[in-house]
Amino acid sequence: MHITINGLSVHDLGDKNKQAIILIHGFPFDYTMWASQIRALQKEYRVIAYDIRGLGKSYVGDGQYTMEFFVDDLFWLMHEMELSNPVICGLSMGGYVALRAVERDQSRFNGLILLDTKSDADDDAGKVKRSEGINKINIEGLDKFIDDLIPGLFAEESLQTMKATVENIKNVGKGHSPVGVKGSLLAMVSRTSTTKFLKKIKIPTLVMGGSFDKLTPPTVMRDMADKIKDSEFAIVPRAGHLSPVENSSYVNDMLCGFMKRRVMNKE
């Protein structure tokens, strides 16, 4: 079922009475990056996947976004859908949203899955890069920004063997409103660090990232997992930053296993 909540385009799939999982996509994608995970998870669970404001089919508004607004959107969605204790799963920018949401109120979640993401805020070089990104969109256009960005997100092998997928992801990026994409860049630069909070996470957590992820490499993911008490950690073989797309079968098995344990622990 497709619904619109407070301007957000939301897909509510699977059985409403089952444990829910919320999937939050990375930048600059939309909920379609989870196609394979949705297929695998909806057989047993309620799956909620939405487009972050400014991206996909969600409303764009003025593009003046902050990470806090992204988290407000998530909590509003949970309130409107009356979701109690979903598992939250975010990739990269989606992971920033998930981590900050858990920092704001972890009692609302039955588990946390962090994919190819990090807890640190942007350093100075990162902030300058975001600013250059906004400039590039203004001067050279969104298509050029996307063409330059996307190849670096995939593992070399995926670039060779998954050409249609890479093209498809590029087309998703080029289909967004430039205002929305720039808004995401502003939101990411506005985010706070959640690193100090990692040791306070009490909910079950799975940390996982692609073996060839250049943006959030395995060392960064491992470091984060080490700080989260009793967390599970996995490296996704043959994948870059888009591990759920590049090695979906491995990621799906891990997600389904984690969800199964969440349900067993609840019973």
Cα four-point dihedral sign 20, 252, 51, 131: positive
Least distance to ligand MLT, CB of residue 11, Å: 19
Q: Between residues 26 and 218, which has the closer beta carbon with respect to ligand MLT? A: 26
Q: Using the rule CB under 6 A, which residue among 26, 183, 217, 218 binds ligand MLT?
A: 26
Binding-site member from 188, 203, 206, 225 for ligand MLT (CB under 6 A): 188
Of positions 8, 24, 27, 47, contacts ligand MLT by CB under 6 A: 27
**Adjacency order of strands within the sheet including 232-236:** 2-5, 8-13, 46-50, 20-24, 87-91, 111-115, 205-210, 232-236
92 part of the interface to ligand MLT, by CB under 6 A: yes
- Helix 142-149 to helix 163-175 angle (10° resolution) is 150
Q: Does 194 bind ligand MLT (CB under 6 A)?
A: no
Q: For residue 196, give every residue at least 6 positions away whose Cβ sits within 8 Å of its Cβ, in sequence order, or none.
A: none
Residue 134 in the binding site for ligand MLT (CB under 6 A)? no
Q: How far is the CB of 93 from ligand MLT (least distance, A)?
A: 3
Supply the minimum distance, in Å, between the C-beta of residue 188 and ligand MLT: 5
**DSSP string for 193-208:** P-TTTGGG--S-EEEE
- If the CB atoms of residues 44 and 122 are measured against ligand MLT, the closer one turns out to be 122
Interaction mask 52-91, ligand MLT, x per CB under 6 A: ----------------------------------------
Phi-psi region of 229 (alpha: psi -120 to 50; beta: other; left: phi over 0): beta
Q: Does residue 41 bind ligand MLT (CB under 6 A)? A: no
Q: Does 119 contact ligand MLT by CB under 6 A?
A: no
* 3 C-beta neighbours (distance < 10 Å), count: 14
Q: 259 near 44, Cβ under 8 Å?
A: yes
CB of 204 or CB of 210, closer to ligand MLT: 210
The answer to whether residue 158 forms part of the interface with ligand MLT (CB under 6 A) is no
Residue nearer to ligand MLT on the CB measure, 188 or 255: 188
At 257, the amino acid letter reads: G
240 binds ligand MLT (CB under 6 A): no
Residues that bind ligand MLT (CB under 6 A): 26-27, 92-93, 188, 215, 241
